Amino acid sequence: MSKLSAPTRDKLKTVSTATLTTCLFKRGLRNQFLQDVHPLNPAAGPMVGEAYTLRTIPAREDLNPITVFQDRGHPQRKAVEECPPGAVLIIDSRKDARAASAGGILVTRLMKRGVAGIVTDGGFRDSPEIAALALPAYHQRPSAPTNITRHQAIEINVPIGCGDVPVFPGDVVVGDAEGVVVIPAGIADEIAAEAAEMTVFEDFVTEQVQQGRSILGLYPATEERTRTDFAAWRKAKGR
């Protein structure tokens, strides 16, 4: 798994998924924001971590009795115990929220193990409990039925699709109160740096607009005056 550096992790905690998608768009990556995946607990703070993936297929009834979880090697349980601290467990549930991808006990265990967050393009059960945890969690909608009703966890840490986005193990997964974006591992450092810079400029712009300034010439900065003002603001703010 690619190593996510501490400075990059820290930078990514200060930028929005919106800003990140713009940086990715500039590199021709148009499809890195998870579609229809929402935070259960937006106040849990930003989520940043390497992708640790879990793949599911539709459940076949004879292979998925309630007893499957007695097997310690069951991929869902294994993923919960082996997802590295600091990583994000991201589950390909084939956008099917008719049964849960996981529930409150497993999500609590992930939190206690120091995992950075959990994401599915299906739904979680015990969603009110999960919404009260300190761990960032993202799903499509609440879904009470136990996962084996519809899903069979089949493989750990292979490339998956989640919310129509390609996710490779080690990609950097970032979540905020808006949603989740996936950054290819190889460009995480440069994207983080660029997004952090963009954020400084956007904070300046927001302040100017709040003071009544027009966006024309300001955003984007096509006027010389904008660049001068920004330099001065930046100096004054020490950013």
Site for its own copies in 33-52 (CB under 8 A): 33, 35-36, 38, 42
Contacts to its own copies from residues 183-222, by CB under 8 A: 184, 202, 205-206, 209-210, 212, 214-217, 219-220, 222
Element (DSSP H or E) covering residue 102: strand 100-102
Q: Which stretch binds its own copies (CB under 8 A): 1-9, 24-32, 191-199, 228-236?
A: 24-32
- Tell me: does residue 181 bind its own copies (CB under 8 A): yes
Q: What is the DSSP string of 26-87?
A: HTT----BPTT-EES-GGG--EEEEEEEEEEEEPPGGG--GGGGG-TT-HHHHHHHHSPTT-
165: tokens are: 């986005």
Cβ-based nearer residue to its own copies, 7 or 69: 69
- Tell me: does residue 143 bind its own copies (CB under 8 A): yes
Q: Cβ contacts of residue 9 below 8 Å, gap of 6+?
A: 48, 49, 86
- Tell me: does residue 118 bind its own copies (CB under 8 A): no
- Tell me: does residue 128 bind its own copies (CB under 8 A): yes
Among 3, 85, 141, 228, binds its own copies (CB under 8 A): 141
Angle at 37 between CA 158 and CA 103, to 5 degrees: 75
Cβ-based nearer residue to its own copies, 26 or 239: 26
Among 3, 7, 10, 27, binds its own copies (CB under 8 A): 27
Among 4, 49, 136, 176, binds its own copies (CB under 8 A): 176
d(CA 7, CA 26): 22
Residue 180 in 3-state DSSP?
Answer: strand
Measured between alpha carbons, how far is residue 25 from residues 50, 181, 186, 191, 197 in Å?
A: 21, 12, 16, 11, 16
Contacts to its own copies from residues 72-111, by CB under 8 A: 72, 77, 80-81, 94, 97-98, 100, 103-106, 108-109
Among 45, 84, 86, 142, binds its own copies (CB under 8 A): 142
